Amino acid sequence: MNEIKIKSALVSVFNKENLEELLYKLRELEVKIISTGGTREFIEKLGIPVTSVDELTGYPSILGGRVKTLHPKVFGGILARRDVESDNKDLQKYEIQGIDLVVVDLYPFEETVAAGASDDEIIEKIDIGGISLIRAAAKNWKDVVIIPSREQYAFLLEILGKQKGISNTDQRKKLAIEAFHITSHYDTAIFNYLNATGHKEVFKKSVAPAKQLRYGENPHQRGTFYGSFNQLFDQLHGKEISYNNLLDIEAALYLIDEFTETTFAILKHNNACGVASRPDLTEAWKLALAGDPASAFGGILITNGTVDKLTATEIDKLFFEVIIAPNYNFEALEVLKKKKNRIILLRKKAPLPVIQFRSLLNGVVEQDRDIRMESRDDMQPVTKKVPSDADYADLVFANKVVKNSKSNTIVLARNRQLLASGVGQTSRVDALKQAIEKAGIYGLQLNGAVMASDAFFPFPDCVEIADHAGISLVVQPGGSVRDQESIDYCDQHDMAMVFTGVRHFKH
């Protein structure tokens, strides 16, 4: 196992949090400590003996602290291979001390960028010495212990405590893996900051941490989530979240964020099967459920309002997988927590990414997320009949839902309630027929309803079918060479139609 006892350590950290216990343990084991600048001052204040890097190298810190540890007497001590005779001769010849442990905590580059600092401030937070120390120690992991961040302090304390400062090969290699993960992540963040304008067309992402899922889309597939789920949610109750839950949760967030008024939505397989907007949340829930109570079974529920006891009591009548809300009353949680596996998520105020990427063939595709949403002012009437104010409210509502449904899709709505939808169809006509049939199953009348389409109608067949079903208002992007045929049909049958000029495919 090639066990090596730690006799000397170089400690150079930006953040001193949790460092004290580690330093006292090093002193207890009589480990010689070498340090720089602010870290050295911190150690001295604890009354722990420390050798400054200046003393070791014979050179002071220069260039305003930009150069402190970049010296052969530091890196030679780290990189020397203990079992290579020529390396040991070089150490003796140039009076270089071996260094067995390197402890580093890098400048907070990503945090500085996130805080909106100036370019100059951000550049100064690009760590040079620290990253070089980590790489050197990690490269020589067969002989050196590398602690590349505060996250590894606990692991080091175990080595210093239970093992009396003696590390083995497996432990050092594990730490080297952590080290190169940290350096690669750090460099990726710097690259993406400098390359924000896309000058260099390459795909570089580093996403951590990783959470192993029970399985992927199906039980025979492996699944892992990379990212910080806890930045977006607090899970208040329920079982472990699955791969499919995550897909539905994302779709639910994108949909609910289209609405400013109190809204409830129910999703299944990334598509809305119920949506309603009302000032009263309980009423919004009941109307959302009425759109497709069968599909709602086992679905994902989301609202932008506070869930109270009355609403929770109504919701509790349905079996569902997940509920998401920005707030819950205490009494509501008591009701919802009765089912032990029910996942209850409290949504935090955190931004969602505006860039999307996915694996495709033997590579990756990246795109801007579709964050555009058309308001009433973006809807251009193209028929003789012009929508009323109430009509426009429904046109906007339906367009929000159709944007967040899988193509080809048709959405039918009235009075800010989803009546039915046809989603994921190879034909737009089939999507419309599916929606009309579904509305009929649940006794939802379509007279005066709105039809929304995610893309243009290549022929007038859809407006004709809609007219026969009682639908009188249409919102679509427009752009077909045969748009006029659909417009003419609407004019001949007293229908109003508006164009948005924006297609919303979703695959």
Annotation says 139 is catalytic: yes
Alpha-carbon gap, residue 118 to 356, rounded angstroms: 27
Question: 446 and 421 in contact (C-beta within 8 Å)?
Answer: no
Identify the H or E element spanning 183.
helix 169-194
- The owner of tokens 């109003």 is 496
Which positions ≥6 away from 289 have C-beta within 8 Å? Answer: 266, 274, 296, 318
- Catalytic annotation present for 269: yes
**Secondary structure (3-state) at 138:** helix
| From 269, 337, 339, 493, the catalytic residue | 269
Marked catalytic residue, from 16, 139, 181, 385 = 139
Q: What are phi and psi of 167, to 5 degrees?
A: -100, 155
Residue 406 tokens, joined = 């899988």
187 C-beta neighbours (distance < 10 Å), count? 15
- Token pair, residue 428, equals 């737009």
Length of the chain: 507
Let me know: does 217 contact 223? Beta carbons within 8 Å. Answer: yes
Integer Cα distance of 370 and 227 in angstroms: 21
| Cα dihedral: 389, 394, 400, 402 (round 10) | -140
DSSP codes of every residue in 240-256: PPPHHHHHHHHHHHHHH
Tokens read off for 243 = 């791969």
Please give the backbone phi and psi of residue 50, each rounded to the nearest 5 degrees, phi first.
-150, 140
Q: Cβ neighbours of residue 44 under 8 Å, at least 6 residues apart?
A: 50
Cross-strand bridge partners of residue 9: 33, 101
AA identity, residue 431: A
Looking from the CA of 232 toward its CB, the CA atoms found within 13 Å total 12
Active site residues: 139, 269
